[in-house]
Amino acid sequence: MRAIRLLATVREESQTVLALNPASVEGLILAGELPAILGGSDARAEALLTRALELDPHQTAGRVSWRACTWRRIAGATPGASCSVVDEPRPTDRPRWAMSDRPSARALLADLYARGRLAPLPEAP
């Protein structure tokens, strides 16, 4: 019950952050992630996440969220953004990339492989 109230507070705070600074990459990512948790427009979420990635293309959290959003919205979307998250050479937030974004991207790719939406990668010689 408390968690539900906290999510509503998070939504309000994300709106406040974007009202104060519409170019806040973290604010745009947070607002774009909320529809997956609370329900809402995936098209709006995708637009917010796209804007965040235009501002900071090395923000791996935004790329993982953007890819998950497009997978929800468009069946059979390609895994390009998640693949690039796994191999990102200059992540903006390196600790988050190492602890959260990279494992999430790997899990999304593994799920696609398991469902047969992607052909398995060939074995290295």
pLDDT confidence of residue 117:
63
Mean pLDDT of the chain: 75
Mean pLDDT of 91-103: 72
pLDDT confidence of residue 63:
82
CATH number at residue 60: 1.25.40.10
Residue 87 has pLDDT above 80, yes or no: no
Asked whether residue 74 is domain-assigned, the answer is: yes
Report CA-CA distances (Å) from 70 to 46, 64, 85: 7, 10, 15
Question: Which residues contact residue 90 at a Cβ distance below 8 angstroms, ignoring those fewer than 6 apart?
Answer: 58
Asked whether residue 125 is domain-assigned, the answer is: no
Are 110 and 90 spatial neighbours (Cβ–Cβ below 8 Å)? no
Asked whether residue 31 is domain-assigned, the answer is: yes
pLDDT confidence of residue 125:
34
pLDDT tens string 8-51: 788 888 888 889 999 999 899 888 888 777 777 878 888 999 99
| pLDDT interval class at 120 (50, 70, 90) | low
Range of the domain at 59: 2-114
Closest to 23 in 3D by CA, of 45, 53, 43, 44? 53
Asked whether residue 121 is domain-assigned, the answer is: no
Token code pair at residue 68: 């998950």
pLDDT confidence of residue 123:
46
In the chain, how many domains are there? 1
Report CA-CA distances (Å) from 102 to 68, 93, 108: 13, 11, 10
Asked whether residue 120 is domain-assigned, the answer is: no
| pLDDT interval class at 124 (50, 70, 90) | very low
Asked whether residue 54 is domain-assigned, the answer is: yes
